[in-house]
Amino acid sequence: MSDTPKPRLMRPETLTAIGIVVVAGALLIPTAELRPISALLPAAMLIGLIVLSVALLAMDQRRAAKGEAPAPMTKSPKRVIGAFLLIVAYALAADFIGFYISTAITIPLVAWAFGYRAPLGLLAATVIVVGTIWLIFDFGMSQDFPAGRLWKD
């Protein structure tokens, strides 16, 4: 192995934090076109993600300044790649088959991918999450979620 240290910006956590800030910032721009009540949740989540990523960046750069070796990005890269693919599939499914159906399918799939196998727990988590979203946003705030292109006209 080489004793020459890698540049501080090439550390896995630093690259991840920078990537998240860039992507979340890019996704934050379209929220300006939404109605204020509709933009509230996505904007708040994206801003929170940016703040947490900046904190991660600062912590990792402090560790780099102390000369600590970077932590490995993940001990299970296949699981992480699978989770990212599920997120992409979820976004596409929300557009084509609708928010509620795709959410009800994705929640147990992600939990299963990360090792949770209890069928009743998966069902309960799905019902709780989807039901809470419906109660707060659809019933309480009268916000419509995407119904899906397949069901329109």
**Burial of 64 from C-beta contacts in 10 A (0-12 / 13-18 / 19+):** buried
pLDDT in tens, 77-135: 787 788 788 889 998 998 899 999 999 999 998 888 878 899 999 999 999 999 998 99
Q: Are 14 and 61 in contact (CB under 8 A)?
A: yes
Would you state the pLDDT for residue 107?
A: 92
pLDDT in tens, 13-45: 888 889 999 999 999 999 889 888 778 878 888
Domain residue ranges of the chain, discontinuous segments joined by +: 1-72, 74-153
